[in-house]
Structure 1
Amino acid sequence: MREVVEEISQVRREAGSRHVEAGGAAASLLRRTYDAAVAGAREAATSPQRFGPPELGMHLAGFGFGSGSGS
């Protein structure tokens, strides 16, 4: 359990609001740094398999890959 708490504490969080087509929306920004090569970081951020299967709601069509509703 301690490892999970340590991982979560490494994430920097910001909350705010922004305007989207439908009107106002709540927004949250999560940031985390890793000691990794650029190629490895890009693969982790752009590979649909790293986000999880679409049946779990991980729709990535809005990001240029995969299929789904984007929500």
Structure 2
Amino acid sequence: MDLQLEKIELIELLLNTKKEAVLKKLRAILEKDQEINLTTEDYDIIDKRRELHLKNETKSYSWEEVKSNARLAK
């Protein structure tokens, strides 16, 4: 089945349900699917980059610069 069609059908079912328990179960499933599992190495990299940033040893970007660069990368 087409993934987009499946999503639309699920949304329709969600909109039509009146059972709070169903909504809670669905929320739990979707939130678990969205969890980010970082390794110790990932945290080490993040900590090192944060440390460099706080020492002004890396370049910072404004939100406008980030959006502009993202558009250019397309």
Query: Could you tell me the TM-score, scaled by structure 1's length?
Result: 0.27
Which one scores higher on RCO, CA 8 angstroms, separation ≥ 6?
Answer: 1
Larger relative strand fraction:
1
Larger relative helix fraction:
2
User: Bigger radius of gyration, 1 or 2?
Assistant: 2
Query: Could you tell me the TM-score, scaled by structure 2's length?
Result: 0.26
